[in-house]
Structure 1
């Protein structure tokens, strides 16, 4: 392949180098920020052998090329445009400026929570391992593994300690990441998070068993000594206040005193405001949001699962699904009350359905280029990455996308009816089995089978219907 020639063809199709504001690449895609996306000639792009698909989301125009090839095309593309040495983060930042306020808010949440996902995933999966060891009736009727093998009881207890750490000290992780995102000192953000979970405070998880919560009495004003273990919203708001306060204090603080007084004043004022006002208010707001979600899940049941399953893929198109990370983090942090996340299993049903519809296209189409895109992106979707399948195949042909959201809706209705919950974040697809509560694994597998079968079969049905319509048009 002549990578220089392919890069030149792509550049011409997207309106020339003057139309490119930023460019980078990930494992499979060129990620571009264009000054005017209306200048893109999509037909010319689709005709290129190197291009497997295109889509626009979050202010970025993304061109699917494929692993092993995209970096070589990008190297030539960067030379042609003069936009070398840019990271995907640089492109995300440039693209975010083009979005509306809602898109920018979602992008902000994504920037804060995506970096801490590995810690949450690790903690959640350890929690799943602990559940396998301690869940009754999973391997033995009326008893658990540790009942049958008492020698591993301490191992289960140790794993449980490891699992809870990321959620107990969640404000530290969020404080660091949020302060960094808001332009403050991330270590001050971490220190604020440590203050919010200090051992001298009443543990938030033990609040229900504690009678009178001790207070600080400051000039007649009582402030509860209650911690914020596992909380999301209070530390998000407090980290924002801390960062903006630090930035503004630094503007007028003499350089000789900056290193001493700016961190002191920023942390002291923010911590006081957090425990006196921000924390109690946002804690209640967070609890109301989670209670509302749990109520919706418990009350709407089958119907709620159907609606969310139908809507999940369209939400992914807008990029709004990134905002679910914050909600799922809170659901998992408060797992004793919520039981886990119902969003993750629904996302998995949607991803499997998208993959099934794409693989159906692989068997249906005679276009060799489409076959290549469908095979690779279909498997990718089954493993939890759906954008190539959705934008490269299903949305282009439309009928596979319709089949996929119907399959997702039916499967999601089933798993919500069976009360399937996840105890960890992970790859929302076939590998997601390890993130599911042990008692729900069988129902999760059945749900995936439903999603695959309905989406795959319905794609064939809708393809025949589409062919008949086209034949009628040609005859007319």
Structure 2
């Protein structure tokens, strides 16, 4: 008899029987089910199981939070049901039958950017470190930076830019590759196509506004501007999808015997031509337009209100999965302005969720069963992953969630007033301080203090209000 045998049998029953399970997989802490009929799942009974820390439905998947022993539970579940577990990609594809058109669009966008996040995180941390040693005047009575007084750190600063440039300036290569990977097209040609957007022979995107003349390809009857799309996300997405559909078309119409020649040539060359004549300029205009609108809102006299609303609403977007659609906007802001003031608010929202859980832990410090769920959720949120906190504790009890979104809203207001700006995205929770621009670190510490203290205190206060009766135990 396994460790979770009883709970496994109960979970199968509460899910509507094994015949209701289309497929499943697991991640670090959760079982991810695709159910044939989600209405058959008895959520209340599932959440009462001793080994279950919470449940939620996202991206067409019914997810059951188990915790660090999820792999053991998963193996026992497969053994009991005889269902063959699938990899995450297969489960995601199966889950899309339960999703609306909008949800599928959001899921596809998330899957495109997910492989790029580790690189973006590294780049953000390195940019933050370079700001500390290269921009902050901490020496000789505040007149010199570390790189100005030390040849070693000056060399280190220059060396680290090699990595940062590869990540951010050449981001379109990663975006096009990820699109081709997601859509099942030729990934190597996707990489080649991405490189044609950032080739050194092109005028760098950052130099366009100050250039006296723009080089061109002169075909006699027409000229094409030789402009690069360094750090540009939207042009890369458009070009990537154009290539995918060109490849699909030529695969359909080309004889099998010559597909190896026809498909790559007739897909790549037109895609590159479209990139530099139509899609690139359109994508550039769209990206700049989005950045301009967002900037206008956040930099207006009501910018503090935008920050507050964003901090308040962001956790709600996490519940729906729509938060994935905001990542390209952050990246566009970085490409256009050199930093983003949206991501600091996101990180503050992470912290606020963790602090609300911390307040709940304090209220239930003698309840061992509650702490088993809440402590890992709190740590996870402080490190930037809020789903266990939101779905496992805060949303279920409700009043901690209200405390958290109020706290992140207040922190968002202060973040905008102080002008907190991040070099990059991806580093969430408490570690986000490392991705802030040098001048923003001290103001951001104040915002972090607000995101820690306010939700904690509000959770304790609201536990004695009528809101405490709304949630479930």
TM range (shorter): over 0.9
Q: Report if aligned partners of 2:60, 2:96 keep a CA contact under 8 Å in 1.
A: yes
Q: Deviation digits for residues 30-60 of structure 1, max 9, x if unmatched?
A: 1111122221212211221111111111111
Q: Tell me how far apart the structure 2 counterparts of residues 468 and 396 of structure 1 sit (CA, whole Å).
A: 10
Q: Tell me how far apart the structure 1 counterparts of residues 7 and 436 of structure 2 sit (CA, whole Å).
A: 44
Q: Tell me how far apart the structure 1 counterparts of residues 82 and 331 of structure 2 sit (CA, whole Å).
A: 40
1:301 matched to which residue of 2?
303
* Residues 339 and 319 of structure 1, relative CA distance in 2, 3 Å threshold: same
**Aligned: 1:186 with 2:187:** yes
TM-score (norm 1): 0.93
Q: Which runs of 5+ in 2 are unaligned?
A: none
Secondary structure of the residue aligned to 2:31 is: strand
Q: Tell me how far apart the structure 2 counterparts of residues 242 and 370 of structure 1 sit (CA, whole Å).
A: 51
Q: Tell me how far apart the structure 2 counterparts of residues 115 and 468 of structure 1 sit (CA, whole Å).
A: 40
1:361 matched to which residue of 2?
360
Q: Deviation digits for residues 155-210 of structure 1, max 9, x if unmatched?
A: 32222232112122112111111111122111111111111112221111111232
2:347 matched to which residue of 1?
348
- Deviation, 1:151, is 4.8
Secondary structure of the residue aligned to 2:223 is: strand
Q: Report if aligned partners of 1:294, 1:338 keep a CA contact under 8 Å in 2.
A: no
Q: Deviation digits for residues 220-251 of structure 1, max 9, x if unmatched?
A: 22211111111111111111111111111011
Secondary structure of the residue aligned to 1:425 is: coil
User: Where has structure 1 moved over 4 Å in runs of 4 or more?
Assistant: 467-470
Q: Tell me how far apart the structure 1 counterparts of residues 296 and 96 of structure 2 sit (CA, whole Å).
A: 34
Q: Which runs of 5+ in 1 are unaligned?
A: 471-476
Q: Deviation digits for residues 446-470 of structure 1, max 9, x if unmatched?
A: 1111112111111111111238979
2:447 matched to which residue of 1?
447
**Aligned: 1:124 with 2:124:** yes
Q: Report if aligned partners of 1:120, 1:329 keep a CA contact under 8 Å in 2.
A: no
1:466 matched to which residue of 2?
466
Q: Tell me how far apart the structure 2 counterparts of residues 274 and 425 of structure 1 sit (CA, whole Å).
A: 26
Q: Deviation digits for residues 400-424 of structure 1, max 9, x if unmatched?
A: 1111100000011111111111113
User: Where do 1:106-121 residues align within 5 Å?
Assistant: 106-121=106-121
2:325 matched to which residue of 1?
323
TM-score (norm 2): 0.94
Secondary structure of the residue aligned to 2:314 is: helix
User: Where do 1:72-471 residues align within 5 Å?
Assistant: 72-139=72-139, 141-218=142-219, 220-299=221-300, 300-332=302-334, 334=335, 337-365=336-364, 367-466=367-466
* Residues 76 and 202 of structure 1, relative CA distance in 2, 3 Å threshold: same
* Residues 256 and 433 of structure 1, relative CA distance in 2, 3 Å threshold: same
* Residues 468 and 118 of structure 1, relative CA distance in 2, 3 Å threshold: closer
Q: Tell me how far apart the structure 1 counterparts of residues 35 and 85 of structure 2 sit (CA, whole Å).
A: 17
Secondary structure of the residue aligned to 1:209 is: coil
